[in-house]
Amino acid sequence: MGFLGPNGAGKSTTMNILTGYLSPTSGSVTIDGFDIMDSPQEAKKLIGYLPELPPLYQDMTVIEYLRFISELKSVPMKQRKRQLDEILSLIKLEDMQKRLIKNLSKGYKQRVGFAQALVGNPQVLVLDEPTVGLDPKQIIEIRKLIGALRHEHTIILSTHILQEVNAVCSSVAVINKGKIAATGSVSDFTAAEGTVSKFVISVVGASARPEAQKVIESAAGVRRVDFVRVDKDAYIFNVESEKKTDVRRGVFNALSHANMAVIELRPIGRTLEEIFIDIVSNEQGTEESR
């Protein structure tokens, strides 16, 4: 689940409450039935936490640090070596395990932070801004890692980077000024009920652009047609329908009857960026009107 919000919205505070680092002033947090305040040991055994700044001991080697974390998490002695070997392999840290953490790059330090979150094989991973400050190559690597982990763990990913949500998340919660503004699946957000249908259409066979545009506009439910450009012998248009109306079949049939061929018909979905801005702006507008 992507936990989205502008800077200062309360994402990190919420993460700290979920993991028991901060006490809530009201409400409660339960992990698999265990209250984080009433049964902290049981609840925290089920959580792996990667804060925005990983809690690393710089003068330890990677393997020393992970062994230390294993002790803190009470991983049984018989399981420690096998589990750490598996984590080092998954996170691709085998070649770095004897290096001092202070000598690692930021990307590798982030990987060590991931590794400590995985110790004990927790059911839930809470990741707070896991790619902040990384270069593009490191960001791609971390996203791939999250994608691999999602099949074995429930992951809550706090971020304000919308590409991250599109890349790795299946559901989204948007927070603004400490309150949940919207929740749903990524597909729900990008194809929200009630939004208009938009698509790009490329047409050949028309003797003139106005002729093709007039045919498209004649289809029932079409609200707007904008000419984009000429591409070789094709006219390209953006088409917008009335709300909750799929006009693609009607447009295709109208052009076919006019002996014009459709060589491309591609939907244009609302981007997550547009939806996020709408939600936050609407929340701010509602608050200002009170």
Does residue 29 share a domain with residue 131? yes
Is the overall model pTM greater than 0.85, yes or no? no
Does residue 134 share a domain with residue 8? yes
Reading the block at residue 95, the tokens are 């070649």
Cα–Cα distance list, 258 to 66, 134, 170, 182, 236 (Å): 70, 54, 43, 45, 17
Dihedral angle at the C-alpha atoms of 210, 215, 221, 226, nearest 10 degrees? Answer: -20
Does residue 108 share a domain with residue 209? no
Does residue 182 share a domain with residue 63? yes
Q: Which domain holds residue 167?
A: 2-190
Does residue 116 share a domain with residue 258? no
Q: CA angle 184-189-194, nearest 5°?
A: 110
78's torsion region: left (phi>0), alpha (psi -120 to 50) or beta?
Answer: alpha
pLDDT tens digits along 133-171: 788 888 888 888 888 888 889 999 998 777 788 888 889
Does residue 207 share a domain with residue 182? no
Q: Determine what percent of the chain falls in helix, strand and coil, rounding each to the nearest 5.
A: 40, 25, 35
As beta bridge partners, residue 224 has 240
Quote the number of domains for the chain: 2
CATH number at residue 263: 3.30.70.1340
pLDDT tens digits along 33-81: 999 999 999 999 999 999 988 889 999 999 999 999 999 999 999 999 9
Q: Is the model's pLDDT at 270 over the cut of 70?
A: no
194 band by pLDDT with thresholds 50, 70 and 90: very low
Q: Does 277 reside within a domain? A: no
